[in-house]
Amino acid sequence: MQFHRDGFRPGDPDVQPPAPRPPACRRSAAGDGRRADRRLRAGGPVLAAQLARWPQIRTMLVEPKLAPMEKGRADGISVRSMEMFQAFGFAEKVARESVWINETTFWAPDGTAPPLSRVARVQDVPDGISEMPHVLINRARVHDMFLDVMRNAPTRLVPDYGLKVADLRIDPAAAQYPVTVALEHTAPGQEGRRSTVRANYVIGCDGARSSVRSAIGGALHGDAAHQAWGVIDLLAVTDFPDWRMKSFVRSHDEGILMVLPREGGHLVRLYVELDALGEHERAADRGMNADDIIAKAQRIFRPFTLEVKEVVWWSIYEIGHRLTDKFDDVPADRVASRSPRVMLAGDACPPTARRPARA
Ligand SMILES: Cc1cc2nc3c(=O)[nH]c(=O)nc-3n(C[C@H](O)[C@H](O)[C@H](O)COP(=O)(O)OP(=O)(O)OC[C@H]3O[C@@H](n4cnc5c(N)ncnc54)[C@H](O)[C@@H]3O)c2cc1C
């Protein structure tokens, strides 16, 4: 009879026993001391957290930043994402630390004074969709939890910070390690230094401006919405009644914004509609900053007041609807005869992508 969840092993069941160390690592082709891994990932940690559970697969995760993320862009966690977190074992932790979005309110001019009224208040997630809540939490915190999963997995995987994929080459005829990846060092004082890693597979999770996608000759195609949006996390004093609710506010002639309360009870995120852009114009060309986002939000909120005490983070971005023309390195005429060696995931191969103009 077993007397702990996983049998006879005491301790935290989320921390799995370490796998035996893999056989001596191969040196890279460049002989620079970097190990050649079976599977190399560029970017975010979700796939890496899955791969970390398999000691038979040696995984290396490279990230140009020098340390884990502190402030993230995304903060909305849909019920499906929560279901995925449940599979990784940390949905309860996210549910405990986050702010739950149970209702949404809508504000608009209703033809009577005052100029803005609450015109609707609806349940946020329809019944029967999921047993999980829709929540908001800083993405950096979610990253922490994926890093914990990696660290507690049998492989004890940790990211290699300060490295970015600069280029890669594939030798489809090679039986072992057919992908040679050139990595660029990003730490101060090491810029320009390069290392080489050879891998059996590379998965590019390196975002909308993916270097891995460029290296396999992929590009994004589609149209931008020609509309600049501002996003800002702030601490403010306001008489807007739904400041701690998810709310959409549509003013008479100044545009729209969305209010999202953040975990911890202080911070609020605003998404604010800014200027329409010309056909070939980028949001960055306008030189807008946090003051422009705040000024526009104050105009949309009238007659309510918004007194900003502190800005924690902001960004200006455009909404685009773009698709990649490549999801892996296999040429269209070789699909039946060759398996992929380089694959893309996440925003690197998007059905739609937001393009941050500056942050
Ligand atoms: C303002 C804004 C708000 C958003 N809000 C939400 C939200 O509320 N909810 C939601 O679900 N989604 C939201 N999104 C979308 C969400 O952020 C993205 O869909 C998601 O981050 C994509 O994840 P990813 O890992 O594919 O790419 P990214 O998050 O872009 O991560 C790419 C990673 O690759 C690294 N990298 C870059 N270049 C290289 C290289 N050459 N070599 C190696 N690594 C590299 C980067 O440092 C980064 O860590 C938002 C996006 C924006 C811009």
Kindly list the domain boundaries of the chain, sorted by start residue: 26-70+141-219+325-350, 221-322
Query: What is the average pLDDT across 283-292?
Result: 88
What's the average model confidence in pLDDT over 250-267? 95
With a cut of 60, say whether residue 353 has pLDDT above it.
Answer: no
Q: Does domain 26-70+141-219+325-350 have CATH number 2.40.50.100?
A: no
Q: Whose alpha carbon is nearest atom 8 of ligand 1? A: 76
**pLDDT above 70: percentage of residues in the chain:** 90
| pLDDT of the residue at 8 | 75
Q: Which atom of ligand 1 is nearest the CA belonging to 212? A: 41
What's the pLDDT score for residue 38? 59
Two domains, one topology: 26-70+141-219+325-350 and 221-322: no
Please report how the helices 139-152 and 79-88 are oriented relative to each other, as an axis angle in degrees rounded to 10.
20
pLDDT digits (tens, 9 = 90+) for 25-42: 433 333 343 554 556 766
pLDDT of residue 31: 34
Atom of ligand 1 nearest to the CA of 166: 41
CA of residue 209 to ligand 1 center, whole Å:
10
Higher per-residue pLDDT: 18 or 279: 18
* % of the chain surpassing 90 pLDDT: 65
Out of 75, 231, 347, 349, mutate this one to test ligand 1's pocket (max ligand atoms within 8 Å of CB): namely: 347
The confidence band for 45, taking pLDDT boundaries of 50, 70 and 90, is confident
pLDDT band for position 237 (50/70/90)? very high
Task: Give the confidence band of 44 by pLDDT, cuts at 50, 70, 90.
Answer: low
| Residue 162, number of CB atoms within 10 A of its CB | 20
Give the pocket of ligand 1 (CB within 6 Å): 42-44, 62-65, 73-76, 164-165, 205-207, 211, 231, 315, 317, 346-348, 354, 356
Return the ligand 1 atom nearest residue 81 CA.
11
Whole-model pTM? 0.87
The pLDDT score that the predictor gives to residue 285 is 81
pLDDT at 192: 87
User: 53-62, 102-111, 129-138, 347-356: lowest mean pLDDT where?
Assistant: 347-356
CATH number among 3.40.50.10190, 3.40.630.190, 3.30.9.10, 3.40.109.10, domain 221-322: 3.30.9.10
Q: Which of 37-41, 132-136, 221-225, 228-232 shows the lowest mean pLDDT across its residues?
A: 37-41
Which range, of 37-41, 50-54, 281-285, averages the lowest pLDDT? 37-41
